A = this chain, B = another copy of it.
Amino acid sequence: MQEFPEVAVLRLGHRPGRDERMTTHVGLTARALGADRAVFPDNAGQSHETVADITDRFGGPFDVELTASPKALIRNWDGRIVHLTMYGERVQDVEGEIRSAHHDDEDPLLVVVGAEKVSFDVYEAADWNVGVTNQPHSEVAGLAVFLDRLFEGRELDREWVDADRRVIPMETGKRVESADADDDGE
């Protein structure tokens, strides 16, 4: 989000066909919950297209990219790295430290979200291995809770620019408005 140093979400591993929706949901969750950028392996072209399309329609700023070398992104990252894993330290124990590195020291943050088995060098490269519970559940759920806690809910109030449409919160029913008039950004 604009007021914070960059938060990028790296999806590590992607099995075409099988992982399409999960990778797409990782990207859409990153966008909706305050990350600035999602990076997918380059065999995840379909997920990339979906996330880019949603950003076109519902606004940004948000970038989605493909990379031929996710490991190089980790190796060369100039900032701190969080790896979300059910084997990691408890999020409630380390979130304060991570928030402080990100908000106060202004370190950009790379959040790594694995698909299948993650190799040991990723555990070693991470500044924090973090478990959103130490239970098996969903990388999408883990990412969502982590981002909501990192930003302490401020991501829910972020504004969107360059959107074609905007959903108006409603008690009952659906309301979508065209957003071309007043919130088109630069």
Contacts and interface: CB of A to CB of B under 8 A. Distances in A.
Interface of A: 21-22, 25, 28-29, 31-33, 54, 58, 86-93, 120, 123-124, 126, 129, 131-138, 140-145, 148-149, 153, 155-157, 160, 166-176
A27 to B, nearest CB: 9
24 contacts: A21-B21, A22-B25, A25-B137, A25-B140, A28-B138, A29-B141, A32-B141, A33-B137, A58-B135, A87-B167, A88-B170, A93-B169, A123-B173, A124-B172, A129-B171, A131-B167, A131-B169, A132-B144, A134-B166, A134-B168, A134-B169, A140-B140, A141-B143, A142-B144
Contacts of A157: 92
Residue of A145, A168, A173, A174 with most partner-chain B CB within 10 A: A145
A90 B170 CA distance: 9
One complex includes copies of this chain to the number of 2
Contact of A87 (B25, B134, B142, B174): B174
